[in-house]
A and B are shown apart, each in its own frame.
Chain A
Amino acid sequence: MRERSKSDVLQTDFLEIRQRILDLAAMLDRYDTALEEADQKPDPRLAQIREGIAALSTSDRPRAESVQRIFSLAYDPDWQENFGLKRRF
Chain B
Amino acid sequence: MARYIDPHIHMVSRTTDDYKRMALAGCALVSEPAFWAGFDRSGVEGFRDYFRQLTDFEGKRSRSYGIAHYTWLCINAKEAENIELSREVIAMIPEFLESSTVLGIGEIGLNINTKNESTVFLEHLDLVAKTDELVLVHTPHLADKYQGTRMILDMIKGDQRITPHRVCIDHVEEHTIALALDAGHWVGMTLYPITKCTPQRAADMVEKYGTDRIMVNSAGDWGHSDPLAVPEFIFEMKKRGHSELDIQKVVFENPLTFFRQCKRFDWSPIQA
CB within 8 Å of B: which residues of A?
1-4, 12, 62, 64-65, 68-69, 71-76, 79-80, 83-85, 87-89
CB within 8 Å of A: which residues of B?
113, 115, 118-119, 122, 126, 129, 142-147, 150-151, 154-155, 158-161, 173-175, 201, 204, 206-208, 210-211, 239-243, 246
CB distance from A68 to the nearest CB of B (A): 4
Contact A74 B147, CB 8 Å, known A2-B243, A83-B115: yes
CB distance from B171 to the nearest CB of A (A): 12
Point out the residue from A1, A72, A85, A88 that lies within 8 Å of B145, measured CB to CB.
A72
Q: Is B147 in contact with A89, judged by CB distance below 8 angstroms? A: no
Contacts of A76 in B (CB 8 A): 147
Point out the residue from B142, B146, B175, B246 that lies within 8 Å of A1, measured CB to CB.
B246
* CB-based A-B contact count at 8 angstroms: 70
Beta-carbon nearest neighbor of B115 in chain A: A83
CB distance from B187 to the nearest CB of A (A): 15
**With A73-B144, A80-B118, A89-B129 already in contact, 18 other A-B pairs whose C-beta atoms are closer than 8 Å:** A1-B206, A1-B211, A1-B246, A2-B241, A2-B242, A4-B241, A65-B174, A68-B145, A68-B173, A68-B174, A72-B143, A75-B150, A75-B151, A79-B154, A83-B115, A85-B118, A87-B159, A89-B158
Chain B interface, DSSP helix/strand/loop, else mixed: helix
Q: Is A89 in contact with B142, judged by CB distance below 8 angstroms? A: no
Contact A73 B241, CB 8 Å, known A1-B206, A65-B174: no
CB distance from B90 to the nearest CB of A (A): 15
Contacts of A79 in B (CB 8 A): 151, 154
Point out the residue from A3, A12, A84 that lies within 8 Å of B115, measured CB to CB.
A84
Q: Is B143 in contact with A73, judged by CB distance below 8 angstroms? A: yes
| 26 residue pairs from A and B, CB less than 8 Å apart | A1-B207, A1-B242, A1-B246, A2-B242, A3-B207, A4-B240, A64-B201, A65-B174, A69-B175, A71-B143, A72-B143, A72-B175, A73-B143, A73-B144, A73-B147, A75-B150, A79-B151, A79-B154, A80-B154, A80-B155, A83-B115, A84-B115, A85-B115, A87-B159, A89-B159, A89-B160
CB distance from A4 to the nearest CB of B (A): 6
Contacts of B147 in A (CB 8 A): 72-76
The CB with the most chain A CB atoms within 10 A, among B115, B159, B206, B239, is that of B115
Beta-carbon nearest neighbor of B144 in chain A: A73
Q: Is A68 in contact with B175, judged by CB distance below 8 angstroms? A: yes
Beta-carbon nearest neighbor of A63 in chain B: B174
Contacts of B143 in A (CB 8 A): 71-73
CB distance from B108 to the nearest CB of A (A): 16
Contacts of A71 in B (CB 8 A): 142-143
Beta-carbon nearest neighbor of B207 in chain A: A1
**A-B pairs with lowest CB-CB distance, top 3:** A68-B175, A72-B146, A75-B150
Beta-carbon nearest neighbor of A71 in chain B: B143
